[in-house]
Amino acid sequence: MEKIEIETEIRTMPRIGDEAPKFTAVTTQGEINFPDDYTGEWVILFSHPADFTPVCTSEFITFASLEEKFANANCKLVGLSIDGLYSHIAWLRTIKEKIEFNGMKNVEVKFPLIEDITMDVAKKYGMIQPGESKTQAVRAVFFIDPKGIVRAIIYYPLSLGRNFDEIYRALIAMQTADTFNVATPADWNPGDDVIVSPAGSCGVAEERMKNTDDLDCKDWFFCTKKLDKNEVFKKVLKK
């Protein structure tokens, strides 16, 4: 009996803790080598379904308006679409010249927008989700640290615009965790208490329960401490 071979395209995506897949790409700001060009900086790499679409337009206006805020947190923005370079340029010009959203207008997008007609980059990062669309990238967000390691991933469907407060909050929370060797609880924002790593031994656990000066321990495994908002911003932000 003749064997019938079925070709199946295997789609993979980076996991948290993996090195960010490398690529070279043409963008609206020239060629980039990713993530090597961003060594020493955090990067948010995000994808959108298509140019000249309303949800994507609202997101690009918002990201561009917040670019300086992210830059002050040592973070660069890099966008991606499977549309071509000339489409990107025309769309970004339209955004600047014609579109107003949430009081933002005349917004110039200065961060790179990757041309990915071949979908090579989108496939490397698992941005093509066939159940959602075989021809458009979903709204993926990759947080990549200064060493080129993927630290967090958020995926949104085509119809759902991103929450930019959460994207910024997540960035600052991860930087705070790295800088102060702590964890951040649910809904944490700078100025809120942070979580101290669970005790690794019975002796440490007992000592923590007795220590009422620096720690607030509800039980041996759940201890928090104060971390001043100004201290967080002093260590995390450039200014």
Q: Write out the binding residues for substrate.
A: 139
Rounded to an integer, what distance in angstroms lies between the CA atom of residue 190 and that of residue 172? 8
Rounded to an integer, what distance in angstroms lies between the CA atom of residue 37 and that of residue 25? 12
The dihedrals phi and psi of 189, each to the nearest 5 degrees, come to: -135, 155
Helices 85-98 & 54-65, crossing angle to 10 degrees?
70
Q: What angle do CA 69, 229, 214 make, to 5 degrees?
A: 150
Rounded to an integer, what distance in angstroms lies between the CA atom of residue 44 and that of residue 125? 13
Residue 42's nearest CA partner among 68, 78, 66, 75 is 75
Exposure of 107 in the CB half-sphere (CA atoms within 13 A): 24
Catalytic residue among 56, 75, 217, 223: 56
> Is 56 annotated as catalytic?
yes
Residue 42: beta bridge partners? 75
CA dihedral 204, 209, 210, 216 (to 10 degrees): 120
Instruction: Catalogue the active-site residues.
Output: 56
